[in-house]
Structures are given as C-alpha cells and as structure tokens.
Structure 1
Amino acid sequence: MTASPLAPAWLEVPADPNALPAPVWPRSADRDGRGALVIGGVSAAVLTERYGTPLYVVDEGEARTRAREVLAAFRSAFEAIGTRAKVYYAGKAFLTGTVARWMADEGLAIDACSLGELEVALRAGVDPARIGLHGNNKSLAEIDRAVEAGLGAVVIDSWVEIERIAAAAERLGRVQQVRLRVNSGVHAHTHDFLATAHEDQKFGVRLDQAAEYVTRIRSFPALSFLGFHCHIGSQIFDSGGLAESAARLLEAHAAALQGGPVPELNLGGGFGIAYTSADDPTPIADLARTIADAVALECSRLDVPVPVVAFEPGRSIIGTAGVTLYTVGTVKDVLVQVAGEGAEARPTEHVRRYVSVDGGMSDNARPALYGAAYSARIASRESAADPALVRVAGKHCESGDIVVDAEYLPGDIAPGDLLAVPATGAYCWSLSSNYNHLGRPPVVAVSAGESTMIVRGETIDDLLARDLAFTTHAGPSSPTEPSPTGPPLADPPLTDPPEETDR
C-alpha cells in the first residue's frame, strides 16, 4: 500500500497495523490468542469490561523497571567520575500515592511543584528529606509546609523567595536547604546555545545574577545553600544541550565555591521518550555517560571538586508505562482535496477517516496544547484488513479535540472496537480536566496478571458536588438536594475495586 498524501512525511505505512512497536509500548504489551491487547498480563477486554472506558492503564512493572534503569544509569555514570548522582522523580508528570510509593521503593526521591503534589508525597510516606519543592510562585502556605515537614531542598526562583523561606525557617526553628534556579541560556529544543543567558521566561534568574543571589542566601543563618538548579526543556533526545548547560552552570558553581561550600548541582530532567515510530531518543545510559563526562571535564578545567549531581526525570520513567483505552463510537470518511503540483494540475480528493472515541482532550490535552503526536492500535482484536489512514478524534465540542492526528489502522475499524493509545503515562492524567462536564477516567495499575484501581473515576455526583445549586437551596422556587447516586460517566465504570482482587 502506498502512503496517503494526507499523511505526514514521517508516518510510514506499517507492514502490520496490528504490531506493537517496542519503543512506544510497555515491554509487557502483547496480544493474546484472540488478538486482544494484553498489558501487564491483563487483557484490554477484561480491563474495559470491569472498569469501562476511557481508562488509564499503568504498567507497574514497566514504571518500576524504568525507575531502576534511570537510577542505575546515573549512579554508574557519576560513580565513574568520582561522585554520586541523585535522582528525583518529577511528580508533575504523573503523581498518585501509589506511584509515589513505587518511586520511593525503587530508591528515587520525589520532586514536587505544588502543595498538592507535596501532600501526595508526604501522605504516601516518602521521607521528607527525599522530597524537593520548586515553582516560580510558591505560596506562603507551600513554603511553610515544606519547611515544617523538613524537606530536603526548596528551590529559590526569585529574590523575594529568599526572604520568605528564611522567615519561615526562622519562625519554625529550622535550617532549610535551598537551591537557586538559574537560566543557562541553553535551549534544549533547538540546541541554540545562546551567547547570553538573558532569557524571556518566568523561571529562574540570569546566570550573571547568580553571585548576588548566593551572597543574599548565605546572609541568612536559617538557609543552607545546596547549589544551582537548571532545567533546559522537555522531550530531549540527545545530551548536547545538557552537557553545554552543565558547563555553564559549573562556571557559576566554581565562583560560588569561593564564598563557601556548594555540595550539589541539579541539572533537571526532560529526557525524551518515543511517542511514534519516528521518535528515536538516546538511551538513558548513553545520556548519563555523556553528561558525566562533560561535568568531569569542566570540573577538571576549573580545578574544582566534582559535586553531587541531581536529576529530575519524569516522562522517561512513567511515560511509556501508560496506555489509555477508549471505545470507538463513530467512524466517518471525509473527502479532503489536495492541491496538485504545477500550475495546470487539478486538485485530487483523498479520504481521511475520522475515528471518534469516548474520551479526548479532557484526558489527553497534549495534542491540543502542543500538537503532540501519538500512536494507536485496535486493542480488542487483530485484523487482516489493509491499513487505512485515520485521525482519532475525541468527543468534545472542539474541532481541535484530536487524540491521534495521523495513524494507519486496519481499514475495518468499526464502532465498538477498543482503541489503545500508548505512551500516555506522562502529562495526560496530570493535565486532565472536566471540560464539557466529562468525568476524569479511573487509573488502573496492572502487574503479573492482576489489576488494581489506584484512582477511581469520577461520577456525575462527583462532578456536581461542588456546584452549590445542587447542594443548597438555590432559591425559594427551586430547592434542590443532591441525589444519593448519579449516572455513570463511562460505560460501565467501576467506582471502587471489588475487595477480592485488591492488592
């Protein structure tokens, strides 16, 4: 089959539209004897019969394995240059109490950027000394909670935060360890190694301000300066930008050593994963070695000891562990005209097949926000039909509600089929919303042939619980009371897991 003129240039016609390309799917993903997708030893058909759709599925084994692999890669690379590496799991990617416990079990610290994320980690039993807090506008309540809990690090993002954190620490009788976020002037996406660090963004301070900030931090006995923090972007596929950023930060690090200890350097995260067959991220072990070599070389040049180096991966740990399951509702062919080549050429018509599912931008906002590309496969069966170009659309009242912009699926895809979208572990649940009054789907963990609900799905009652028109008397002519139960938001959801299969 030849490629459709409507397909992006990078999208190849698959030899088998049922295949599950290894870089995009969890390593446990397979098909059973009936052709149904299996994740973590559990069939998609069994999962959706029990929990309904849309459904977030997280492969516990994949998440834990990737956490171990990332930690081992950075520890090995930095031990080779005579220092230690710390790895914080970036909770903003996807954080629940269960996930926080997985990460802590595997030896990772937790990076939080709000009071909510901080409370998830604390209530999950994560050692406060292994939690970091950052953000460009931390509230006084967030600062107080972080200091009171004894967090291992708080990232200072502006001048006023120095005084705010110091005041909280003094009031609580603590000495709070802090990092200073700086902008290195390196842009990960373009690898445009700017000559200046005067960046137009809300995070951090300029490198040429670093010395002034460090002096101010050290003027407060209640603050202990850990070192600099930098994050150059997301979905990074190679180490060039990170190595350059590290070199620039180490210049400031060496200067700060003249006034006192600087035990650590935090280089952030942003390591990429494969979302489609065209994505080819560098293996994490290779990234770690290249960054470690760059740090060692620069420390040697500057004649300073190699510091402890910290990282904050999120997507590279949890992204590929997640798969979202949907049910196909409608299939519609649309004729699209493509301009011909040359002045005299006539436009030609081609079919784009719209496959609409029961979720969309409320459970995966990334395509609408960033134009992010995803893959898809039929999850309920295999098919011998020829591949056809499809666009997977959501059910929201927005023309931009696209789940997968372009994919080749078997041409006989039909209403009632289950559709799986891989690599949805990061920034899907965490960015989910109630747009159009849709409830957020449940999250189910799978492992060794068993499934466990770790976040229940929302019902209509959940959705309306904060609407005071339905919880108080709205007026003399329209008294209303909440109903004891509400209709489901998915077909059929399970709000609580049966006790006999809890783990």
Structure 2
Amino acid sequence: MTIWPRTATWTSGELHLGGLPATELAQRHGTPAYLLDRADFEARCRAWLDALPDGDVHYGGKAFLCPEVVRWLADLGLSLDVCTGGELAVAMAGGMPPERVVFHGNNKSLDELRRAVEWGIGCIVIDSFAELDRLTSLGARQRVMIRVTPGVDAATHKAIATGGEDSKFGFSLSNGDALRAVRAVRDTPGLELYGLHSHIGSQLFDTEGFALAARRMADFAGSVGVTRLDLGGGLGVAYRPGDPEPPTPSDVVAALRKEVGGLDLAVEPGRSIAGPTTVALYRVGTVKGTYVSVDGGMSDNPRPAMYGSPYTAVLASRASDAPLERVDVVGKHCESGDYLVRDIPLPGDLRPGDLLAVPVSGAYQRSMASNYNHVPRPPVIAVFEGADRVIVRRETEEDLLRLYV
C-alpha cells in the first residue's frame, strides 16, 4: 500500500509529482501549498464509476471543491453533492449540470432553497420538518429525498459519526419520524419523493457498518414503496505507512448491493477520492530541539488539533544519510496545540529551508482552512503530465484587508 499519489516519484531524495520536482514547484508557487495530482484524482473517480456502472456516483463536495474540480467531475460523468449555498455557488461556477447536483445540509435556509430550485437542481435532501415547510412555501415542483437516520453507530471519531440516534442529521427511523416525513412529502403538491438517503459517518475501514445501514434502509424503502437509495460515502483512507488498508470501491459497492438487491443505488465518495491525491508542501523555518517549525500549521490543516488526526511527513527536497531522530512538526501559530505531525522520524540534519511533504492532504484541509492569526490560505496547484496549474490561488493580505469596513 502507498499513501502517495500515483505519479509520485523520488529522484536523489527529491519528491516529483506529476513529473515536476518539489523544489521547482516551491520556487514557482511558494509554500505552504497543496499539490494535487490530477491523474490520481481522475483515476479514483473512475474506480467508483467502474464499481457502480448501474448507479450514480455523487462526489462529496465538502471534502474539497473548486470550479476546476467541478469541471473535471462533469467531464468524467460524476454527479455532485453540496451542503451549503457556498458549495452550490461553486457547482454553478464550475458548470455542473444542475440535474446532476444533490443539495444536502441540516439547516438549509429559505434563500438557499429558493436559489437551488430556481437553478433547476436535481434533488434536495429534506433533513427536517421545518425544512420541508420552507420548501413547501416556495410552491415549486421539486424532486426530493428524505434523509433517514438508520441508528448505526459507525466505528469512527464521534465528530464524524452521523448515523446514530443522537445525530443532528435526518429523520429517525426508530421513532417513526422517517415514516411521517415520507407521508408528508407524498401529501405535498409539487414534491416528488425520489428516494431515501442515509450517511453513517466518515473514515470507515470495514463494510459491516455500510451493510447494516443498507439493510435497514432497504427494509424501510420496501415498506414505503421507494425504489432508490442514496447510501452516502464515508470510506476511509490510510494516512501513514502501516495504517489499515481500506476497502476498495468495489468492496463497498458489493456489500451494499448484497443488501439492497435491485434498488437504484447512489453513493457519495469524497475523502476516498480527494484525500490521497494531494500533498501539502511546507518549508522548514526553525529547528529547535525536537520541534521542527514550518510555514503553515493549524490554519491550513486543523484536523490534528480538532480530531487528533495522524499524519506523516518526509524530507522532500534532498537526500540525507543522517541518522533519524524523532521530532514533532509544528506550525507557526500562537497555539501550543498547533501540531501537524507528532513524533515522527526525520533526518537529524534537517535545517531551515528544507522542504517537508505531508501526503494525503486533499480532503478536509483546504476546505476547512482558516485565516487564524491572519495567515492567508495556501494555493492549490494541479499537476498533470509535466505541467502545473493554479486552480485555487494563494490568498494575500490584501484579500484579508478587503473585508474590513
């Protein structure tokens, strides 16, 4: 198993991605930067399409989204799920056909719903009775799904588990709310009940939870005469050497198909597509004892601070024969919790100016990045067949100051 994008190679200790050396990319675009291997991204999309040729693959936009990625998805034949008005705007800007977009979210505003309906969005996922009332007030003809909480406690961090009974998402299956929601939609003129939706969580490494949720959803679908199930995403990825091998898209689809039979099936992979495609590139600024400080940190990757998410890092700009020493890679922010990678072996001759590469940085990093300490967010550079292209430009201090009035 490799945690690096499929075009990653090493020459004299230097990382090359998409046929381009890391030092050249850092010189041209600065650091920190996210380097996205387009060939890897598209291959992972195709793997899901191949696994579900008779269903629909909706890319989970919350993992990472920009107009250029939307264009790739549209050209490949994927659909897209969004969960806010901002993500909806990106889908529009990228030219995704509206009929291939699904709108999620547990608190969609009236304005967001109106904009989606006026655009001609393919489907809106109803998450609450209040939201159903908002949509009904628009008097529009609209295809909808009901989000169901199937009561499955996924084996993952509690902050990214979404299918248990104690969840802010969806209608409970066990207390009858899901059935009441189905009846309410069918009683509402203009609304078409297109299917049922569920999502049990993220960063999952076995198919048992997927299968259990699919079984419960299929049983419920049969009882209410629904023929389409969207069973969400959540497939995990390895972040470090030695991490468990995740199931393949084919493994997941096979487990779902076994439970849902001939029902129309849709899935929503996000992390499993975007995560492994991208490398975060940093420059070392200070080495102090066991602390290696780089020019990024929790503003461009909040996941270690939020979830204790484990990553690895390697020297990416040169070869070194120095003995390895265990260090912590930390950021530049005024927080003692500003760790990127804890307790990893790096060459003992690490020095200011060296480049460090952190793999599996494509999901929930740029999309969760902030301007903490007024640090501008890094760019995203797509590399492909020896060429590099900025698809999200680096923020500037002028961008930040423009917001102040």
1:460 to 375, 379, 397: 397
TM-score (norm 2): 0.96
Report the Cα offset of residue 227 of structure 1.
1.4
8 Å contact from structure 1 (residues 191, 241) kept in 2: no
1:254 to 209, 222, 231: 222
Report the Cα offset of residue 221 of structure 1.
1.8
Q: Distance in 1 between matches of 2:45 and 2:4?
A: 16
| Residues 436-451 of structure 1 mapped to structure 2, 5 A cutoff | 436-451=373-388
Q: Distance in 1 between matches of 2:110 and 2:193?
A: 20
8 Å contact from structure 2 (residues 218, 259) kept in 1: no
**1:315 equivalent in structure 2:** 271
**2:207 equivalent in structure 1:** 239
**1:375 equivalent in structure 2:** 312
Report the Cα offset of residue 321 of structure 1.
0.6
Q: Distance in 1 between matches of 2:348 and 2:157?
A: 40
CA-to-aligned-CA distance 1:273-319 (integer Å, 9 cap, x gap): 110113221222222212212222xxxxxxxxx22111111000010
**2:69 equivalent in structure 1:** 99
Distance 1:119 1:198, change over 3 A: closer
Report the Cα offset of residue 466 of structure 1.
1.1
CA-to-aligned-CA distance 1:236-276 (integer Å, 9 cap, x gap): 1111000000111112111111xxxx231010001111101
**1:133 equivalent in structure 2:** 103
**2:33 equivalent in structure 1:** 55
SS at match of 2:366: coil
Q: Distance in 2 between matches of 1:411 and 1:126?
A: 49
| Residues 398-409 of structure 1 mapped to structure 2, 5 A cutoff | 398-409=335-346
CA-to-aligned-CA distance 1:208-231 (integer Å, 9 cap, x gap): 222211111011121000111111
Residue identity matched to 2:239? Y
Asked whether 1:327 is paired with 2:283, we answer: yes
Q: Distance in 1 between matches of 2:319 and 2:259?
A: 48
Distance 1:400 1:59, change over 3 A: same
Q: Distance in 2 between matches of 1:415 and 1:452?
A: 27
| Residues 6-85 of structure 1 mapped to structure 2, 5 A cutoff | 22-32=1-11, 34-75=12-53, 84-85=54-55
Residue identity matched to 1:358? D
SS at match of 1:385: coil
Report the Cα offset of residue 198 of structure 1.
7.1
Residue identity matched to 1:447? F
**1:211 equivalent in structure 2:** 179
Q: Distance in 2 between matches of 1:293 and 1:23?
A: 29
2:122 to 127, 132, 152: 152
Report the Cα offset of residue 401 of structure 1.
0.4
Q: Distance in 2 between matches of 1:283 and 1:409?
A: 31
Q: Distance in 2 between matches of 1:405 and 1:291?
A: 37
**Which consecutive aligned stretches of 4+ in structure 1 deviate over 6 angstroms post-superposition?**
none
Name the count of aligned residue pairs: 398
Residue identity matched to 1:277? P
SS at match of 2:322: coil
Asked whether 1:178 is paired with 2:144, we answer: yes
1:291 to 256, 259, 265: 256
Q: Distance in 1 between matches of 2:272 and 2:359?
A: 14
Report the Cα offset of residue 45 of structure 1.
0.5
Moved more, 87-96 or 248-257: 248-257
SS at match of 1:92: coil
**1:277 equivalent in structure 2:** 241
8 Å contact from structure 2 (residues 154, 164) kept in 1: no
**1:342 equivalent in structure 2:** none
Q: Distance in 1 between matches of 2:69 and 2:256?
A: 27
CA-to-aligned-CA distance 1:21-41 (integer Å, 9 cap, x gap): x52110111112x42100111
Is the radius of gyration larger for structure 1 or structure 2? Answer: 1
**1:163 equivalent in structure 2:** 133
Distance 1:59 1:121, change over 3 A: same
Q: Distance in 2 between matches of 1:191 and 1:62?
A: 27
Cα RMSD between the aligned structures?
A: 1.5
8 Å contact from structure 1 (residues 392, 405) kept in 2: yes
Q: Distance in 2 between matches of 1:461 and 1:320?
A: 32
Q: Distance in 2 between matches of 1:117 and 1:290?
A: 30
Residue identity matched to 1:176? Q
8 Å contact from structure 1 (residues 210, 252) kept in 2: no
Residue identity matched to 2:288? K
Report the Cα offset of residue 190 of structure 1.
5.8
Q: Percent identity?
A: 49
Report the Cα offset of residue 357 of structure 1.
0.2
Residue identity matched to 2:333? H
Q: Distance in 2 between matches of 1:133 and 1:361?
A: 29
Report the Cα offset of residue 386 of structure 1.
2.0
8 Å contact from structure 1 (residues 111, 133) kept in 2: yes
Moved more, 453-462 or 366-375: 453-462
Asked whether 1:364 is paired with 2:301, we answer: yes
| Residues 473-492 of structure 1 mapped to structure 2, 5 A cutoff | none
SS at match of 1:214: helix
Distance 1:235 1:190, change over 3 A: closer
Distance 1:163 1:190, change over 3 A: same
SS at match of 1:363: coil
Residue identity matched to 2:389? T
Residue identity matched to 1:217? V
Q: Distance in 2 between matches of 1:358 and 1:308?
A: 48
Q: Distance in 2 between matches of 1:50 and 1:223?
A: 52
Residue identity matched to 2:235? F
Moved more, 383-392 or 45-54: 383-392
SS at match of 2:62: helix
8 Å contact from structure 1 (residues 243, 294) kept in 2: yes
Q: Distance in 1 between matches of 2:65 and 2:157?
A: 30
Q: Distance in 1 between matches of 2:379 and 2:170?
A: 36
Residue identity matched to 2:266? A
